Structure formats: C-alpha cells, structure tokens
A and B are shown apart, each in its own frame.
Chain A
C-alpha cells in the first residue's frame, strides 16, 4: 500500500532527467518542472505525515524490490518509512521546494540556468532516496549521488577558480570520510550478511553482533558522518563550499547534505548504543566541533561564512546529542535547524542579491531598505541563538539538558559556551548587516528588496523557524517522532536550562553592545590581541596545516614521480631507444653510401623501402604466416 511513496523520490529524478535533456526547449528552461515535481513530493510527504498522525499508517512499514542477487545474497532497493524518515521527507521536500522557488529570481541571470535546476532536482532525489532507503547499500548510493551533486553545485560557477577549487575540496574531503563509511558497509555485510536496516536491527537486538564489532562499525560509520556533516577535523570543506550559489548553500547546509551525516548516525544508532566507547568519541567530536567552529565565526566578515561556521557548530551540537544518548534531541535539533538555517541562508542570499557583496563590513543599516529580509533574518537569528520560545531554543535546550542530566558536565559547559559564542556572533552579524550607519553609500542606495519569489520562501520559513519547536514540544511530537527504545528518559533540569539561556542572553547583550555601536573599540581590540585575532581569521591555520601535511607531501610525491618520468623513463628508455635507432640509421646511411652504391643496384633498396601501401599488408601477412607456422611446428 505504501509503494506510491517511492514517487516522492522518483518525481524529482524524473524532472531532473527531463530538464537535463529537454530543458532547453521548455519555457523557463524547465524550472517549473522541477518546482512542480518537488511540490508533488511535498504533497505526498504531507499525505504520509497526515496518515501517520491519524494512525492509519502504522510505522515502521517497508516495501522492497530485488535489485540483484549474488549467490545466496539478495540486494534490494526499497523504502522504509518510520517516524524519522517521515519527518525527514517532509523537511527535505519543504526546504527543497522553497529553495527552488527562491532560485527562480536569484539565479535568473545565471548562465546554465537549466543545468542548475537539473542538479537541484537530482540533489533532492538523492536526499529523498537516502532518507527512504531501507538498507545501507541504497543509503550509500544516495549518499554518493549527493556527494557528486554537491560537487556540481558548489563549483557551479566553475568559471571562477575559487568555485572550482571549493568543489574539489568538498568532494575530496567528504570522500575521505566516505572511505570509512564504505569500510563500515563491508564490515556490516561481513558480520550480518545483509544491508537491511530492520534485519540488522533484529541481529543487534538478538545479540548476534559482538560489541567489539559494533564498536568498529560505529566508528567507521562515524567517519562518513564526520566527512558529510563537516565535523572536526574534516570540517574544512564547508566554509569553502560557500563559493556555490546561495540557494545551494541553503539546500546543502540546511536540509540535505550535512543532514545526511547526522541521519546516518541515527540510522546506525543501534551500533552506537551497543558500543558506549564509540559514543564517547562521538560526543567529544561533536562538542569540540561546536565550540571550535563558533570561535572561528566571531572574526569572519563574510556573511555566508558566518552562517557556514554556525552550521558546523550546530551540527556539532547534533552529533554531541547523539553521543550523550540524546537521540531525540539530536534529530529534533536537526529538524529545527533545517528550518532556521534555510531561512538564514535564503535571507543572506536576499541581502547579497541587494548589496552585491558578501562582506558585512561593506553593508550596514540595510534594515532601512530591506524590511522583509531584515525581519525574517531576525527570526532566524533568534531561533539560531536559542532565544526562549523559538524553535532553536527548545531543541538546543533539550541537548544541553540531556548532557547535563547525563553527567557530561564538561560537554555541557562547552555547549553553554558555544551558545554564548553563537549568540555573540549572530548578534554581530545582524548588527553589522542591518543596523548602524551605511558604510558604503552607493551600495546602500542601490539596495532594494528582492522580488516576491524570494521573499515568499523567507516568510514561509519564518513560521517553522519560530513556531516548530513550541508546537512539537507542547504536543509531545518530539518523543513520538524521535524515540529510540531503551534510551534514558529526559529529565528536565531547571538549573541546566537557566545556565544555557543565561549564556545565550549574555552573548546577545555583549554582541548588542559592541555591534554596531562600538566598531572603533572592536578594531582596537583586534589590534591589541592581533595574534589571537589572526589565529581565528586564518581558521586556526588548519587549511595551512593540511596543506603542509598532506597536499604538499602529495605534490612532493608528484615531483618525485615527475623526476622519475623525466630522468629515468624518458632519458634511459625513451631517449635510449631513440639513440639506438639513431645509431642504426647511421649504420644504414653508411650501408647506403658505401655498400648499396657499390654492391647492390637500386632495386633492392627500393623494394625494401618503398612507399607502397600494400607493403604494410605484406608485412602483416608475413607476420601471420610466421605465427601460423610457429604455432603448428
């Protein structure tokens, strides 16, 4: 009965194919086709959601088709609908639809407009296919497709060198993590003989998989997650990925790509629960990433990069939540984050569209020109900061609360500090962009509010960014959707809540005092603490470190190989043979000059070396004859 759900993923794929091959001849280059397909997916997702809510759809339900069989093993493609995937489907198709509508105006002048929509649709298909997958193999297919699509989209403006390099960086860095994921897949198949989520879950429940194996698998899976979700130390690709068009950033960093990493941990959570040591590592990686990225965001002047760092930081929160056994909180934060981060990115895109720059130091006072954008950006900021009663507040509170009540006090401290930093840098970004006095008059004068197809998605996204958390918490949907059997129930701790909210508010206050009113003072501060400032500006020199450790070494290796090719292969072998032939020709000339002239007539030489095409045929035949004779005798 639920087979029709497969359409949710297939419709975007169909539109991608149609746009790719026929978009050239369609009105609007086929963009409406992509929007229509995602809209249909959204309608189907809502239908599923409704049926789940009124109880006519009892989860988990699955359905599968045989993909191929190898020996006794059957590999399948299928759909698995459980609580998490239903919510993810709804979230992905919503964000994707709004992003596609938004792109109509934002990308209208871009060359390769058709290709952009084809990629967007393909990207959406990959994520939806991944979310619905009922086995790891299909999950991996969607995962890799998404990697490829993100490469295409990040380097979409490949005419600029930076965009191409960013695409490469994203692709290669995530690929490093994928290696772990792939090894994890093989290990899973080795220990259980299947990729099916439900069967593996049963194996885990029945204790067929030793905790040692679970530890290995969990860590390998986590590698993939670290790459895709940009966790430390593989976070370097995400800030650079801001080279892609802003709608792509919204799609990649809100709903799809980075969410897939967290979703992988959620799907493989059985392994993690069975291996507490792995959970420790997960929690710490998440916590370190969260605070690490937040510090880098403080000094960043590029509005998109600030948001990129905040994405990394929030993903750190989610991973940390997974690590402290707060599975519901992690997925809850993933959902709310998708809403407010998509909103923030799209609003930032609207700002960039109006101001024609990413640099916040060149903006200022834009609220006077871009009222709608300002309001919606403000909603997103509040939610991201975790201002009480917004969406982000509930999910972040839940994570910190779980960390506190779970006894992870250091992680709780890190989380609160991160909340403080988050509030500070988001207030800074808001202040620099929208408040104060315009720092560049021309830019300010030419900034105009974006067309409705850009502001409408902003308004629509503001609703979940503000209200989703309240609705889900008050109606108990969080536990209904994001439950994991056997986890400790969350205990409300007012102390933890107060500390978290307090640190957030402190960040807002500090940020509000400094920006935009005290810019000269901030400038003096930056000079005063210039080593620290530069450290943050250069992202802790991690790019340089990787460049020195890995890239330079690779280049060195390439130099060695080049030297070997130039001096050993070319000099000894290629040139050597050339010299031999040279010598032979000297001999031949000598023979020509002395022997042929005197001994032979012209005829023999001409017979050996004539320009007859059939001469080659003759030699070929001779070779064939010799082969035949050799084979027989």
Chain B
C-alpha cells in the first residue's frame, strides 16, 4: 500500500466516472458518474496528505470542501433534473425527444 497504489485506484475511478459522464443515456446516471469523479479526486487529496504530509490536515480540509461542493452540485443538479423531467417528461440527455430504442 503506497501512494502509487492509491493513485492507480483514483485514476481508474476517475476514468470510469468520465466514461459514465460521456456515455450514459440518463442524466441521473451522468450525475452519479460525476460523483465518482469527485471521489477519485478526494482519494488523491487524502492519499497525498497521508503519504507526503503526515501530521498535517490540509488535504483533508480540501476533501471536505470537495464533498461540500459535490453536495451543492448534486442538490442543484437534482432539482434541475426534477424540473426537466416535469417539463420534458423524461430525464434523457437528449431533451425534447421521447425515450426510444
């Protein structure tokens, strides 16, 4: 268990999130994928904090901010999705068209 291991983990998690953002059909899934990317970044923050600067907590402090921002983003995003679903009748990433195939 070294810094490198955590970096590999966070890179993979980030890529999975990115793939999700680019390819999911439902906008809710896109939001979830974004959360995955946030978590990848958080793992980086904490891992660097732990391995490089033991005894300090700056990395964790930033991770807390990231969590907070993610919460804010999710709240706004979800309310937008709700409004969109009410408006378009679907939460597809292709607005205005009914879900098909």
Contact = CB atoms under 8 A, between A and B. Distances in A.
B22 A618 contact: yes
B49 to A, nearest CB: 25
B: interface residue count bin: 10 to 19
A532 B94 CA distance: 80
Contacts of B95: 613
A610 B93 CA distance: 11
B18 interface: yes
Contacts of B24: 614
Contacts of A612: 93-94
B47 interface: no
A622 to B, nearest CB: 10
B94 A611 contact: yes
A611 B30 CA distance: 16
Interface string B76-101: 00000000000000000111110000
A544 B67 CA distance: 68
A: interface residue count bin: under 10
A617 interface: yes
A541 B90 CA distance: 73
A483 B17 CA distance: 82
A562 interface: no
Nearest to A620: B22
A610 B94 CA distance: 9
B23 interface: yes
A621 interface: yes
Contact of A621 (B22, B94, B97): B22
Interface string A226-263: 00000000000000000000000000000000000000
Interface in A562-616: 610-614
Nearest to A618: B22
B21 interface: yes
A449 B36 CA distance: 81
A614 B18 contact: no
A617 B94 CA distance: 13
A611 B97 CA distance: 10
A612 B95 CA distance: 8
Interface in B32-70: none
Contact of B22 (A610, A611, A614): A614
B44 to A, nearest CB: 17
A614 B23 CA distance: 7
A618 B18 CA distance: 10
B93 A621 contact: no
A394 B54 CA distance: 85
Nearest to B23: A614
Interface in B3-38: 18, 21-24, 30
B33 to A, nearest CB: 11
B23 to A, nearest CB: 7
Contacts of B23: 614
Nearest to B93: A613
20 contacts: A610-B94, A611-B94, A611-B96, A611-B97, A612-B93, A612-B94, A613-B93, A613-B94, A613-B95, A614-B21, A614-B22, A614-B23, A614-B24, A614-B30, A614-B93, A617-B21, A617-B22, A618-B22, A621-B18, A621-B22
Q: Which 6 pairs of residues, A with B, have the shortest CB-CB distance?
A: A613-B93, A618-B22, A612-B94, A614-B93, A614-B22, A611-B94
Given A611-B97, A613-B94, A614-B93, 13 more contacts: A611-B94, A611-B96, A612-B93, A612-B94, A613-B95, A614-B21, A614-B22, A614-B23, A614-B24, A614-B30, A617-B22, A621-B18, A621-B22
